[in-house]
Structures are given as C-alpha cells and as structure tokens.
Amino acid sequence: METTIAYMKPKTVKEALKFLQKHGGNAKIIAGGTDLLNQIKKGAKTPAALVNLKDVEELRGIAVTGKTVTIGALTTLFEIQNSEILAEHFPVLPYTASLMASPQVRNVATVGGNLANAAPSADMAPPLLVLAAKVEIHGPPKKRLIPLADFFTGPGETVMTGENILTRIKIPLMPKGARCIYRVHTLREAMDISMVSVAAYIKGRRKVGKARVALGAVAPVPMLVPEAAEVLEGQPFIPERIIAAGVEAREACKPIDDVRASANYRRHIVEILTRRTLQEIADGATS
C-alpha cells in the first residue's frame, strides 16, 4: 500500500514555516533534494509531508554587507564554485565546492542542505567552521543566529527542530594577512566521500596571531580542534609547532571503523593531513 505524502511549494519562508507547523514537525524540507529523495525511494524515510523550498527566492544569493558575507541556504554548490564574491573573499569555499560530487549534482545540491544533513563528512562544514561562520535559523522558538560550531549535535542531527528552516550562512570577512585552506583524503580521486578532511585558518605569517583547525569525517560531527589552535597561537609559525598541532588533532578526533578505513588509520591520516595543510599555509597557499 502506497503512502500519500502531502506536498507544498511555498514562495516565502513565512509560508513554509506555517506548513511545517501545521504538520507538527513531521514534514521534511527539500532544497536540492539530492539526499532526501534517495532516502524516500529506498524507504529509509517516509515523511508525512514535503516542503519544496525551490521557489523561495529570499533564500538564494551571495552578498557582502559591511564586514559580513551572507550566503542564502538555497545557493547551489555550482553557484558557490563560480562566485566572484567568494573567490575574492574566501577562495577556499569555491575550491571546496569544486571537490564535491559531480557537476550535475553541484547544479542542484545546496549549501544549506549540505549543512542541515549534518553528515560527519559534510565538505562545506570544516572550512565554514574555521571561518567562524554562523547560521541563521527561522522558526520556533524564534529566529536566531548561532555559531556553526554549535549547530551540529550528532550524525544527521542539528539543533533545529522539524519546524525550523536554515535560511542563511553569515561569514565575517577575513582580516588582512589571514589565510584559509581545505584538504581532503579520499579513496578515489573524484566524487568520493571524504575519509578525512582538514580545514585550517591562520592569521599571521612569521608569528601566528589567530589559528583555527577543523576536522571532518573523523567524529560524530564536523569539529573544531581548539587544542591544535592553542599550540600555534602566539608562537612562531615553524615546523615544530605544526608537528605539535598535528599531534593535537590526532588526539582530539574520534573516528570509527567502517568499510572504508579503520579508526587507527584515520587517526594517522588526521595527523599527517593536519601537518600538510598547515605547512601549505606556511608556504603561501590561499585556498
């Protein structure tokens, strides 16, 4: 017996929120739909209703306002990959988008969906974490803006309820002299899920004024590693400090054994990839 699923295609966030509340949080949001529709077809999920946000234009676009860049949650990975604004201010984001999935998927998959799905291996999460991004959430109890670092609560889980919508990502402009890059380790060269990913942000050249390191695919959620930042900040940006940061990243990660790699192998790669990523920044890399 087939299950009937209610469907709505709102024009505004307000309309979408009313529909979500009507179904008591049992509705699911479609943005690009690349993950959810596959889960429905496989029977892994059977929502009471679907809310297609495709026509909500207020959730699209990339803009600079003052000292902040705002990315609408419906902005596609293709749009991020080709954004002149992001190429100027955060080249790491177009680079990251270019690594993800196939060109066909990047044309429909959205940055909001990548974050809201809360996969531990979500590629957009580590660079946005080290860029100190915040996410804007609409819906009860109220509209709020929270650090991305506080958004993920577990694999596939976030602070959002079924009556919430992720609307925008806001990123403070990087100060002069700051650099941010993202590196991944995969089994294959292209279109593969990250086995280990590392993003790093460094302000300062000879001496580190501010540092952030984030990991993906090696813990229940994408994570910042403050211990790695602490061994770098206020210190000369030298190999000894970079090596120490790699050790801290290895100790902080919480990988699992799965079909792609053992936990011990992932820890080993975390240390190596963290060191390589930081050394690339020291050598002048910018994305």
Same domain, 163 and 67: yes
In a domain, 99, yes or no: yes
**Alpha-carbon gap, residue 216 to 100, rounded angstroms:** 14
In a domain, 91, yes or no: yes
Backbone angles phi, psi at 156, to 5 degrees: 75, 10
In a domain, 121, yes or no: yes
For range 146-160, the mean pLDDT:
98
Same domain, 117 and 209: no
Angle at which helix 263-282 crosses helix 239-252, to 10 degrees, equals: 150
Q: What is the pLDDT of residue 1?
A: 42
Same domain, 64 and 160: yes
Same domain, 24 and 105: no
Same domain, 84 and 161: yes
- CATH code of 198's domain: 3.30.390.50
Same domain, 34 and 82: no
Q: What is the pLDDT of residue 93?
A: 99
In a domain, 1, yes or no: no
**Is omega for the bond preceding 141 within 30 degrees of 0, making it cis?**
yes
Domains held by the chain: number: 3
225-259 residue pLDDT tens: 999 999 999 999 999 999 999 999 999 999 999 98
Q: Are strands 134-138 and 144-147 parallel, antiparallel or unpaired?
A: antiparallel
Same domain, 135 and 220: no
Same domain, 188 and 276: yes
13-54 residue pLDDT tens: 999 999 999 988 788 898 866 666 666 666 666 788 899 999
Mean pLDDT of the chain: 93
**Alpha-carbon gap, residue 180 to 203, rounded angstroms:** 9
Q: Which of 144, 172, 200 is where one domain is finished?
A: 172
Q: Which of 128, 155, 172 is where one domain is finished?
A: 172
66-75 residue pLDDT tens: 999 999 999 9
201-233 residue pLDDT tens: 999 989 999 999 999 999 999 999 999 999 999
Backbone angles phi, psi at 264, to 5 degrees: -65, -40
Q: What is the pLDDT of residue 62?
A: 99
- DSSP conformation class of 58: G
Compute the C-alpha angle 144/150/156, nearest 5°: 100
Q: How many CA atoms lie within 13 A of 240 on its CB side?
A: 3
Structure tokens at 220: 């229940």
Residue/partner pairs of 78-81 with CB below 8 Å, 24 or more apart: 78/103, 78/106, 78/107, 80/111, 81/106
In a domain, 287, yes or no: no
In a domain, 15, yes or no: yes
- CATH code of 39's domain: 3.30.43.10
- CATH code of 102's domain: 3.30.465.10
**Alpha-carbon gap, residue 153 to 283, rounded angstroms:** 35
**Alpha-carbon gap, residue 50 to 20, rounded angstroms:** 9
172-201 residue pLDDT tens: 999 999 999 999 999 866 557 899 999 999
Same domain, 22 and 119: no
| Residue-range definition of the domain harbouring residue 11 | 6-52
Same domain, 87 and 124: yes
Its pTM stands at 0.94
Q: What is the pLDDT of residue 269?
A: 98
Q: Decide: helix, strand or coil at residue 55.
A: coil
For range 162-169, the mean pLDDT:
97
Same domain, 165 and 236: no
Q: If we measure between CA atoms, which residue out of 266, 217, 263, 268 comes closest to residue 247? A: 268
Structure tokens at 51: 């809310």
- Residue 93 contacts residue 127 (beta carbons within 8 Å): yes
Q: Decide: helix, strand or coil at residue 12.
A: coil
Q: What is the pLDDT of residue 39?
A: 66
Same domain, 189 and 222: yes
